[in-house]
Structure 1
Amino acid sequence: MNEEYKEKKSKLLQAKEEYRKLLEESKITSRSTFKDFSERHSRDLRFKQVPKKKDQELFFSQFINALKKRDKENRMRLRKMR
């Protein structure tokens, strides 16, 4: 049982990593929506590797939040340079 759990967790982590790569390659911005992203990439194997739509949306929103944070930090840095 424990071995099976570890294998499932490992598969999910690998799927999440592949999904993250897809997000990076898809050139989405902080204004992109999950609906647009999923319509565009639903046929991609990396998209399908994360079986639960809830998880797909969660990973997407985490990625978008990271983009927003990075954009905000970049704006702050630019302001300080002026």
Structure 2
Amino acid sequence: MVQERLQQIFREIFSDDDLVISDGMTAADVPGWDSLAHINLIYAVEREFSIQIADERLASFATVGDLREHIEELSGVH
């Protein structure tokens, strides 16, 4: 469930209806994933899942899978 919702957020933020995310994906794998897009992505994730990601955790996400796992921890949704 988190994966599907996260997929939709990525497609909206990066304006790419064909974008398919995977746990091993990094910012380098997504055209346009710069610092502004990252802020927009995190904001959209927080809003979608009704969570607050601590600032000190933001730099710890090396992959999309890291982000997904943290969302699952905070939201209790899998």
Fold-level match, TM-score > 0.5? Answer: no
The structure with higher relative contact order (CA 8 Å, sep 6+) is 2
Q: TM-score, normalised by structure 2?
A: 0.31
Whichever of the two has the greater Rg, that structure is: 1
